[in-house]
Amino acid sequence: MARIPAAAVAASGLVGGYGVARWTGKRPLGGAALAAAGVAAERQWQQEAGGKAAAGLSAAYVAAFAGSHPLAKKVGAWPAVFAVAGGMALASWAVTRRSR
């Protein structure tokens, strides 16, 4: 069975977490979606790139989530979420690509 790349999992977690929170009106539910994708991506990062890379990418994932909030005040919510998701996907791809 083909594995979904960690870059796609992480980006989907950021976009999906926001979407779930927005459309359900329940922020904790969006947080659960964000966290579930983060855990799944972290496991892949650990397997593909090792512990230090996984820790760094996990920190970047949390920073992307946190950074989307002030960015949203400047460019709007969805553009901010897509921007940080794209940045996170690029970082994940670059780190896991280097380790192969």
Instruction: Note whether 12 and 86 are within 8 A (CB).
Output: no
Structural domain of 76: 6-98
pLDDT recorded at residue 3 = 85
Establish if 1 belongs to a structural domain.
Answer: no
Establish if 24 belongs to a structural domain.
Answer: yes
pLDDT recorded at residue 99 = 64
Instruction: Give the residue-averaged pLDDT of 85-99.
Output: 92
pLDDT recorded at residue 97 = 87
Percent of all residues in the chain with a pLDDT value above 70, rounded to a whole number: 96
47-81 pLDDT per residue, tens: 999 999 999 999 999 999 999 999 999 999 999 99
If one counts the domains in the chain, the total is 1
Q: What single string gives the DSSP state of each residue in 67-96? A: HHHHHHHHH-HHHHHHHHHHHHHHHHHHHH
pLDDT recorded at residue 85 = 98
